[in-house]
Amino acid sequence: MSAVAVEDVWKFYGDYPALRDVRLEAAPGSCLALIGRNGAGKTTLLRIIAGFSKAQRGKIKIHGADPRETETRRQLGFLGHGIAVYDELSALENLTLYGKLYNLKDPHQSALEWLERTGLERVRNGLVREFSRGMRQRLAVARAFLHEPSVLLLDEPFTALDDRAIAVLQRLLREALAAGKTIVMSTHQLREALELATHVALLSRGQLAYHGACTPEMVADPGYIYARYGEA
């Protein structure tokens, strides 16, 4: 069974079809890089997979189940454009809050562990509004990984990250892949993404232009996939 299955999905914004009959899947333990130009529909597709938005036609299955089912949501980790942590709360309070919402056994202890893994243990009681951008991003990464999701959905995860946060994220993604977790990430930073990706899906104006294995040609030349399958 696929970890993520997108079955003939259509999404309209008014009359405009943002996604047109998209069909793809990601096997357990694979990393699917979702690429495409701005406005191609990558974020829309990720939001539908995450269950934040509904497709007008077609279905999404996460391990065979609807993404809005409670048990399915427990298996999903989403890292979007926003950091999804509260400025008025401390780093520890934020992670403990999400730990409670995900019903972790010991939310406080899990929060402390992830603050340590992301290098934020010294500022654990500091309010997020006082954090630098890099620290906020590392906290967002900790928030997405906190509940050990089996499927990670990452929307342009490397954009605007500082060097340290990129290193932390790449290490965590490699560990996740090694542990058999599934990653679906949209990105414009092909070099970083294709180093991790086992599969690639190219979206062009809401349609799937390519979906298949990540080949050595793609890794060697990140522009190859656009030249071969993308828009002129």
Partner 1 sequence: MGFLRQVWVVTMKDLRAEIRTKEAINASLAFSIVILLLFSFAFDPTDETMRGLSGGLLWIVFAFAGTLMLNRSFARELPNDCLDALVAAPIPTSALFLGKCLANYVLVLAVELVSLPVFGIFYNVHWARQIPELLLVLMLGSWALTVIGTIFSALTVNIKLREVMLPMLTYPILIPALMSAMQLTTALVGGTPINSDTIDSLKMLVGFDVIFTAVSLVLVETVLVG
- Asked if 74 interacts with partner 1 (CB under 8 A), we say yes
Q: Which stretch binds partner 1 (CB under 8 A): 19-27, 67-75, 194-202, 212-220?
A: 67-75
Helix H, strand E, coil C: the string for 175-203 is HHHHCCCEEEEECCCHHHHHHHCCEEEEE
- Asked if 88 interacts with partner 1 (CB under 8 A), we say yes
Identify whether the C-beta of residue 213 lies closer than 8 Å to the C-beta of residue 198: yes
Strands 182-186 and 199-204: unpaired
- Asked if 65 interacts with partner 1 (CB under 8 A), we say no
Q: How far is the CB of 217 from partner 1 (least distance, A)?
A: 36
Q: Which stretch binds partner 1 (CB under 8 A): 73-81, 110-118, 164-172, 195-203?
A: 73-81
Q: How far is the CB of 144 from partner 1 (least distance, A)?
A: 9
- Phi, psi angles (nearest 5°) of residue 109: -65, -40
DSSP 51-105: TSS--SEEEEEETTB-TTSHHHHHHEEEE-SS----TTSBHHHHHHHHHHHTT-S
What is the distance between the alpha carbons of residues 68 and 73, in angstroms, rounded to a whole number? 6
- Asked if 41 interacts with partner 1 (CB under 8 A), we say no
The residue from 30, 36, 42, 80 that contacts partner 1 (CB under 8 A) is 80
Q: How far is the CB of 168 from partner 1 (least distance, A)?
A: 19
Identify whether the C-beta of residue 61 lies closer than 8 Å to the C-beta of residue 137: no
Binding string, 132-161, against partner 1, x = CB under 8 A?
Answer: -----------x------------------
Provide the phi-psi class of 21: left if phi over 0, else alpha when psi is between -120 and 50, else beta.
left
For residues 4 and 194, which CB has a smaller minimum distance to partner 1 in the complex? Answer: 4
- Asked if 85 interacts with partner 1 (CB under 8 A), we say yes
Interacting residue ranges for partner 1, rule: CB under 8 A:
50-54, 68, 70-71, 73-74, 76, 78, 80-89, 93, 97-98, 100-103, 127, 143
